[in-house]
Structure 1
Amino acid sequence: MPIARAARRAAVRLGAVALTGAMLAACGSGASDTSSDAAGGKVTITVDLFGSFGYKEAGLYAEYEKLHPGVTIKQTDTEDEQDYWKSLQTRLAGGGGLADVQGIEVGRIASVTQQQADKFEDLAKYGANDLKDQFAEAKWSAATTKDGKVLGLGTDVGPEAMCYRTDLFKQAGLPTDREELAKKWATWDGYLELGKQYKAKAPGKSAWLDSVGSLYTIMIGQEEERYYDASGKLIYENNPAVKAAWDAATEAAAAGLSAKLDQWSPQWNQAFAAGSFATIPCPAWMLGYIKGQAGDAGKGKWDIAKLPGGAGNWGGSYLAVPRAAKHKKEAYELVKWLTAPEQQAKLFEKQGNFPSSTGAIAKVADAKDPYFSNAPIGKIFGDAAKEAPVQVLGVHDKNVADQITNALSEVERKGTAPDKAWANAKKGVDNVMG
């Protein structure tokens, strides 16, 4: 939700949750740092997130409130990160309606550090630098400005695997053993070939995968340079890695392997329970999302295998405190606690969000998930996290990605020719870049 930030980031999302007038008032529009809502030391900390962070579902808010009498945590969330980011930009520009804690998807963090540092608190003022050794270097540095301001603390990362429905595989005559499948789809060509075999004997109206946009995203997550190079130059148009992921996605569309579902849409959510697709590219944070959407009926029907083509990362998020937050100190203390190794380990074990805390990674190495056929998720995602490249992030990283996946949706849902769709993606990027 983020994964995802989304999905980074890992629970049932019934749709975008609109902020009511009362909540906007609770979030506050001033920059004061009062420590209580009323006499008696009571304080309400507001948290605004996107996708599937899983804190409420894992019981972490309730635990924090028990440890801190007088503190109440109120969360609002928006299912689609694009909608969330647009709303956040509007509120940052106006200075009002901001929560005490705001989630930031990893694809937006360069925009925050390079263009919006004046809109967020420097957490170093509250002692955040003492936490640096708890985080992977790449995760920490991405949220730190050139002059040393720490604008967010890392939640999860999104090491990638492939989730699949064992019951649907059996009905189509395909193997279900995760090790055997990892060998059969060691490459993306192997994955698409297996998809064509599945289509020939697919049960019901099920498809091989949810969307070609998710295929593209998981593939491009295996690359160090995607949309920008290390110097900050925009390179997506001529990057062979982008072309390879685009070509694989459009090939999947042409072969009819996709269920043609836009990720995060109501139809996509319903498809988990309906068995509308047999595989889904699966960053760690997707596990909790699958559990939430497929429900108890899905337990034991899912499994997880190593990703085709090697390790990669999709998503991951940060928690930040806006300058206009009402309760800055209290917000920082909550952020510090939520991102501590103990809480990151609990979140992974309950929801699947893979830790960005090095201490937490060690704690979950042996974790297994009974919902996913007792898959060794600690090892699968731990190995992927170790092997994944450190990605170059640019100011408009997420915007470029969104335009490309939007264009791929045109290909699979409207039948737009790939060349025309690519031209539309480029126009969209140009418009975003101004």
Structure 2
Amino acid sequence: MRTVRVHRAAAAAALVGALVAGCSSGGGSAGSDSAGGKVVVTVDLFGSFGYKEAGLYAEYEKAHPGIVVKQTDTEDEQDYWKSLQTRLAGGGGLADVQAVEVGRIASVTQQQGDRFEDLRRYGAEALKGEFASATWAAATAPGGAVLGLGTDVGPEAMCYRTDLLRQAGLPTDRTELAARWSTWDGYLELGRQYRAKAPGKSAWMDSVGSLYTVMVGQEKERYYDASGTLIYADSPAVRRAWDASVTAAKDGLSAKLDQWSPQWNQAFSAGSFATLPCPAWMLGYIKGQAGDAGKGKWDIAKLPGGAGNWGGSFLAVPRAAKHKKEAYELIRWLTAPAQQARLFRKQGNFPSSTGAIAQVADATDPYFSGAPIGRLFGDAAKAAPVQVLGVHDKNVADQITNALSEVERKGTAPAEAWSHARKGVENAIG
């Protein structure tokens, strides 16, 4: 999940709220070395991976009585990544297991391979057939080293509030909506119709940044081409998503909320927006923020413009970890098909394991009006492009969405905001 799932999810794909297992600054070790004679395997994550909430740690500890799992969690993925870089450079304060968001994995495989364990040392090569080929390839370094195991991917759909759409006189049936917003132009046109009769002070979407993110998630090439050349400034995919987002801001379709902010979290229960582009991992987040009062008010339809991916993550073992073998055994178990299938049914994190994908094909979610989430996200995962990942994908994306925030919240001219984005990218990546 996670922003980027992102993301978390992303997201980047990073997530907070009722689903997180607890927060820390991320600046120190994730726990002591032993407890009552047992080995403490420390896990440091960003956002909500859902392991503790789904009871997976407790189950693992029961099956492995000599192991205690201790997790820390940083709310924002950007803060998490900065802290991780500091600790990797210093060699201290690292957990046995560190999460890596999909927008950062190319940095690990291409620039930091010497700071993470090659999991082939522990037998990971035998797991290759269990994962989607794109997921496995993303965590494999040019020399063949396997530096992480995939936790989830972020196939996308559109989540929406049926009660708000009904009050605005718009259809609520997921099939009809999918037809009406089969293109992004259709989605924006429905948004204008919603704005004309919007209940209360609600907006069509939460932010133009989320619109941009989901649109570029539908493209194979965004910020880099297959040769590793930075192309974002001339990328047709980036330009299309930028122009659509600027149009949405100009037309007043956004609630102008920064994703993952306290105001954004509160907006779920307040009904401040009617639609939300949602990768699979967002489902658990919506439940956590909207609470029991939101059950049955949400539904899910096919995404405008075709399939895409937003977020996904990996679990890696740093070279400086204290318990490397135990860490590998834990992440192998957490990312196995049975555990990934359970997480999807409980949290919405869509599996990167091919076996787990088959297990959840018939899944539905009563919270989201009985939406066939297994089919919706499964079809999206199959149709989503295999994206080219670059070393600084996340940095580029952050600067562009920051610039779009200027457009929607400050009224900055789009050309000026784009110039700010380019300068921000230059400063961020050198």
Structure 2 Cα separation of the partners of residues 116 and 315 of structure 1: 21
On the 8 A contact 1:27/1:325 being kept in 2, the answer is no
CA pair 152-208 structure 1, distance change in 2 beyond 3 A: same
Q: For 1:397 and 1:20, locate their aligned partners in 2 and report how far apart those are by CA, in whole Å.
A: 22
* TM-score normalised by structure 1 residue count: 0.95
The answer to whether 1:12 aligns with 2:18 is: yes
Residue 14 of structure 1: CA displacement? 6.9
Q: Distance in 1 between matches of 2:238 and 2:161?
A: 28
Q: Is 1:93 matched with 2:89?
A: yes
List aligned pairs for 1:68-217, cutoff 5 A.
68-217=64-213
Deviation at 1:66, TM superposition (A): 1.4
Q: Secondary structure at the match of 2:244?
A: helix
Which 5+ residue runs of structure 2 have no aligned equivalent?
none
Aligned-residue offset at 1:17: 2.2
Unaligned runs of 5+ in 1: 29-35
Cα 1:259–1:381 shift into 2, 3 Å: same
**Alpha-carbon shift at residue 7 of structure 1 (Å):** 4.9
* Superposed CA offset, 1:404-426 (max 9, x none): 01111111111111111100000
> Which of structures 1 and 2 has the larger relative contact order (alpha carbons within 8 angstroms, sep 6+)?
1
Q: Give the counterpart letter for 1:424 in structure 2.
A: H
Give deviations 1:183-233, integer Å, cap 9, x for gaps.
000000000000000011111111100110000000000000000000001
Structure-1 separation of matches of 2:426 and 2:100: 23
The RMSD of aligned alpha carbons is: 1.6
Q: Classify 1:376/1:14 alpha carbon distance in 2 versus 1 (closer, same or farther; 3 Å).
A: closer
Quick one: which amino acid aligns to residue 6 of structure 1?
A
Describe the superposition over 1:48-83 as per-residue Cα deviations: whole angstroms up to 9, x where unpaired: 111221111111111111111132211111221111
Tell me which of 41, 44, 53 is aligned to 1:45. 41
More moved, 335-344 vs 407-416? 407-416
Cα distance change of structure 1 residues 14 and 330 upon mapping to structure 2, 3 Å threshold: closer
Look up the SS of the partner of 2:299 in the other structure: strand
Q: Map 1:378-417; keep pairs closer than 5 Å.
A: 378-417=374-413
Asked if the contact 1:121–1:151 (Cα under 8 Å) also holds between the matched residues in 2, the reply is yes
2:104 is paired with a residue whose SS is helix
Q: How far off is 1:243 after superposition?
A: 0.4
Q: Residue 33 of structure 1 corresponds to which residue in structure 2?
A: none
Contact 1:7–1:53 (Cα < 8 Å) also in 2: no
Q: Which residue of 1 aligns with 2:300?
A: 304
Write the letter of the residue equivalent to 2:34: D
- Cα deviation code 1:245-281 (max 9, x no counterpart): 0000011001111010111111111111111100000
**CA shift at 1:16, angstroms?**
8.4
Name the CA distance, whole Å, in 2 between partners of 1:428 and 1:19.
Answer: 25
Find the aligned partners of 1:14 and 1:26 in 2 and give their Cα distance. 15
Paired residue type of 1:60: L
Offset of 1:26 from its aligned partner? 5.3
| Change in 2 beyond 3 A, CA 1:92/1:415 | same
Cα distance in 2 for partners of 1:329, 1:229 equals 36
> Structure 1 residues 253, 118: closer, same or farther in 2, change over 3 A?
same
The match for 1:317 is 313
Measure the CA separation in 2 of the matches of 1:204 and 1:321: 49
Please tell me the residue identity of whatever aligns with 1:375: A
Equivalent residue for 1:294?
290
8 Å CA contact 2:131, 2:352 repeated in 1: yes
Shift of 1:145: 0.8
Q: Does 1:276 align with 2:254?
A: no
**Higher mean displacement: 60-69 or 126-135:** 60-69
Q: Map 1:29-44; keep pairs closer than 5 Å.
A: 37=34, 40=37, 42-44=38-40
Tell me, in whole angstroms, the C-alpha distance in 2 between the residues paired with 1:20 and 1:429: 25
Could you say if the C-alpha distance between residues 54 and 224 of structure 1 is closer, same or farther in structure 2, counting changes exceeding 3 Å? Answer: same
Q: Which residue of 2 is the match for residue 233 of structure 1?
A: 229
Query: Displacement, 1:146?
Result: 1.3
* 1: CA distance, partners of 2:403 / 2:277: 19
- CA 122–46 in structure 1, closer or farther in 2 if over 3 Å, else same: same
Verify the 8 A CA contact 2:159 2:277 in the aligned structure 1: yes
Question: 1:352-400: per-residue Cα shift (whole Å, max 9, x none)?
Answer: 0000000000000000000000000000000000000000001111110
In the alignment, is the contact (CA less than 8 A) between 1:206 and 1:259 conserved in 2?
A: yes
What is the CA–CA distance in structure 1 between the aligned matches of 2:52 and 2:36, rounded to whole Å?
A: 27
**Could you say if the C-alpha distance between residues 79 and 25 of structure 1 is closer, same or farther in structure 2, counting changes exceeding 3 Å?**
closer
Q: Residue 105 of structure 1 contacts residue 315 of structure 1 at CA under 8 Å; is this kept in 2?
A: yes
Deviations 1:127-167 (A, max 9, x none): 00010000011100110111111000000000010000001
Q: For residues 127 and 335 of structure 1, what CA distance do their matches in structure 2 show?
A: 12
Cα distance in 2, alignment partners of residues 375 and 45 from structure 1: 37
The 1-side partners of 2:225 and 2:25 are apart by: 38
